Structures are given as C-alpha cells and as structure tokens.
Amino acid sequence: MMFLIRVLFFLLIANTAATAASAKKVESLRFWTAPDHTRLVFDVSSPVDYKVFVLDNPSRLVLDLSGVTFNTSLPDFSPSHKVVSLMRQGLRNKKDLRVVVDLKTIVQAKSFLLKPNADYGHRLVVDLYPQQKKSSKQATVIKKSSPSVKKNKWIVAIDAGHGGEDPGAKGHKGTREKVVVLAIAKKLATLVNQQPNMKAYLVRTGDYYIGLRKRMEKARKAHADLFVSIHADAFKDQRARGSSVYVLSNRGASSEAARWLANSENAADLVGGVSLDDKDNVLASVLLDLSQNATEDASATVASEVLKNLNGIGHVHKKQVQRAGFMVLKSPDIPSILIETAFISNRQEEARLRTSSHQRKVAKAILKGMKTYFSKQRLPSTTVAETRATYKIKRGDTLSAIAQKHRVSLSSLKKINSMKSNQIKIGQVIQIPS
Ligand SMILES: [Zn+2]
C-alpha cells in the first residue's frame, strides 16, 4: 500500500513537472500607439500556435493561443485611445487562451512572431491598422485636387531613429537611444521652425516603430529637401566617444551588397527592424535604405557642415564624413545624412545625452550645418502642380482655339479637365496642361 502511494505520488510529481515544462505563458503584454496603427506585443515563454481574426458588430479582434496561460495583467487603454476600447482574456476548452480586443473602429490586423533579441525574449506581435470608411476616402480625394501652395521654405525631414519595440542602443544607466534621439529631434524641429525659410517634418513623433522604407516614404510625401536621421552610437569599448556623420556612397558597389540589402531590408521591415542581432547591421540597413534616395554630393556637403558644427560642441569620433560603401539602387532624390550624436555606451556621453541643455546644443549644431548648406542652394520656386496654368473662358472662345493658342493637343486639354465634349461656358476656368 505504502509502495503504491509512493508510486502514485511520484507519478503525480512527474506529471506536474512535465506540464510545467511544456506550459506556454504570456509573461507580459504591452502596446505602442503610432499615428497609423497600434502594436500589441505579447511576451511569450516560447513560440506559440495562434490564430487571429476580426469580427464585426461590434468591431473586435480575437486572438486564440493554444495551450497558453495568461500570467500577467491586461494593459489599460486611455478612454481617448483611437483604436482600442478594452482588452479581455479568458480560458477556452480549459487549456487555450482567448484574448479579445474591443475596437472603436474597423481594423486590418497583421501578426507575426519575433525571436529573442538583447532586450526581449519570444514575442507575438499584432498590428492593428484602422481602416478608412468610404466617406472619408472621398474627402481625401477632394483635398488632393486643391491647388498646391508656392514653395518658399526648405523642408527638413527629421527622423528620430528606432522607437517602440525597437529601443536602439542602451547606456549603463539604462538610457535608451530611442528616447534621447526623439528629444533631440523635437528640439531640432522647434529650431528649424523658427527659421523664416525652413520647415520641419518630424518622421516619428512618439514612442512607436516605423519601418525603414516607410520613413523615407513619409519624408518624400512631405516633399522633404533634406532627410536627417538622428541616432546614438554604442560600442563594446566604453572609451569610444564622439559624434559621427554618415552618408551613402555608391563607390565600391557590388551586386552582392545589393542582394544583402534586399534580404536584410525585407527582414527588418517584417520584424519591425529588431531582428538583426548586430548593431552594425541595423545601422548599415538604415544607410542602405537612405542610399536608395540619396544625392551623394549634396548629402556629403550637408554632412560635412553638420560634422564641423558638432566638432564645435564636443568630441568627434571620426574626423571625416563616413561613407558606407553599398550600392545605390535607385535614382537619387532626397539628400540624406545619418548622425550618430554621441556614444550612449560611454558613461560621460550618456550622462550628457540625458540633459536637455546638451540635447539643445546638439540640435543647434545640426541646424547650423543645415543652414550653411541651404544658404548655398537655390529654393525651387514652383512645385510640379503649379506649373499647370489655368484659363478663363471668354465669349467667342472654342476649345480647339484655346488648345492651339497654348500649343497643346485638344485631347490632352479635354483629358486634364475631364471633358467628354468640346462644350465650354463663358466664365468657366479650365486647366492648361504644361
Ligand atoms: Zn541607432
């Protein structure tokens, strides 16, 4: 009898141990709110099997994780959060976890698993993209056709590196690159907007991740004349210090580099730029992304002006503008530079990066360099849309006569004004193709 009890006891223990070893857990849960999406991140004890689906009326997202327990608390969403109103969780079939996200809008969900990196273990990421309703789409079209204003300012896209799930480099005191570079970027934007001939566009405005390609896309949409990416360096040797400025070079290009670019970029975008374990790889991929659009000479000019001014406020890590020798894949359009403001891994520099006064100093130095660069450039006087002239119909006008007078074809004139016939009215304003 005693023996039997012992065996049973042993079996019980063995069984419990096996369950504990195989039990998958959600260990913590956080979210990041970006202007165009909300990212939910589940820290899981090991890779999980899961299903995500969206339901209507009321709008909600359901996440089923098989054989997973919930060992944390649900995050609190502010009542003013634009996408999520509430999250809840419960057990299904006595063994599976179901998480329900109550939504304020229709969303499209994207989800993927992330492997452990220096900061986190296994993760399940769910991105919620609010979908536009039909009526608001129409409003966007109307906005598009409004005439563009005359360009009288240089537009500077200021890109604070990393963000959200991607913290960037970390200092000894726990200072995070994503935090200090955003602070510098915001100070730089304020300074830029104080200039009569400059306007800032902040690529990242809060603590969320933006894909590398998306950053360039955003800058292009903002009609940026210059792209400035702000980072802070890290190195194993704590003595490394000073700032560096990088531009792209198409010298030493090779097709192997091009292939590497394609692979690593796709990977970086898929995982939110956090899968690459090597910091240098991250930097290289940012640079490679910039290279798609870089005007090498313009970039080099502005880079050396910025470096000169950074030299005035502290140490410079490398006296020359650094060039990354990767292939430029596409025709250039926006001159781009990447600034490593200081080494966050250096105790003194980390302490300085945390202070508002030093952040402002760095921003001022960057601004000074940009101003010198822009003072040597001619501001484009017109935008593309503006080159399109208009004409007001007078008595006796015919469409073909107007076309002839402006040396354009009748068909292109009709096409640009969406006209089906040659009928015109006195006082009607039509557009003339350039
Ligand atoms: Zn960085």
Over residues 45-56, the pLDDT tens digits come to 999 999 999 998
Spatial distance between the Cα atoms of 119 and 276, rounded to a whole number of angstroms:
12
Instruction: Single out the residue of 285, 256, 254 nearest to residue 268, CA to CA.
Output: 285
Q: What is the pLDDT of residue 418?
A: 84
pLDDT at 207 over 60: yes
CA 31–ligand 1 middle distance (angstroms) = 21
- Least confident residue range of 5-9, 105-109, 183-187, 244-248: 5-9
pLDDT score at 139:
37
Tell me, in angstroms, the distance from the centre of ligand 1 to residue 378's CA.
32
CA of 339 to the centre of ligand 1 (A): 9
Q: What is the mean pLDDT of residues 75-104?
A: 93
CA of 162 relative to ligand 1 center, distance in Å = 6
The alpha carbon of 233 and the centre of ligand 1 are apart by a number of angstroms equal to 6
Angle CA 376–382–383, to nearest 5: 110
Q: Cα of 56 to ligand 1 centre, how many Å?
A: 40
Query: Ligand 1 centre from 100 Cα, in Å?
Result: 35
What confidence tier does 283 reach under pLDDT thresholds 50, 70, 90?
Answer: low
Query: What per-residue confidence (pLDDT) applies to 286?
Result: 58
Specify the pLDDT at position 112: 86
Ligand 1 centre and the CA of 324: distance in Å?
A: 15
Tell which wins on pLDDT, 320 or 387.
320
Residue 256 confidence class, pLDDT cut points 50, 70, 90: very low
How many angstroms is it from 37 CA to the middle of ligand 1?
22
CA 338 to centroid of ligand 1, rounded, Å = 9
- Alpha-carbon gap, residue 49 to 111, rounded angstroms: 12
CA of 169 to the centre of ligand 1 (A): 6
Q: Is the pLDDT of residue 366 over 50?
A: yes
Cα 98 to averaged position of ligand 1 atoms, centre (Å): 36
Q: How far is the CA of 283 from the centre of ligand 1 (A)?
A: 6
Looking at per-residue confidence, does 6 or 355 come out higher? 355
CA of 121 relative to ligand 1 center, distance in Å: 20
Query: Ligand 1 centroid to 298 CA: how many Å?
Result: 22
Residue 249 confidence (pLDDT): 55
Contacts of 302 (CB under 8 A, 6+ apart): 226, 335, 337, 369, 370, 373
What is the signed CA dihedral for 211, 216, 217, 222, rounded to 10 degrees? 130
How many whole angstroms separate alpha carbon 22 and alpha carbon 101?
27
In the predicted structure, residue 176 carries a pLDDT above the cut 90:
yes
Q: 125-139, 210-224, 401-415: which range is least confident on average?
A: 125-139
pLDDT at 220 (0 to 100): 83
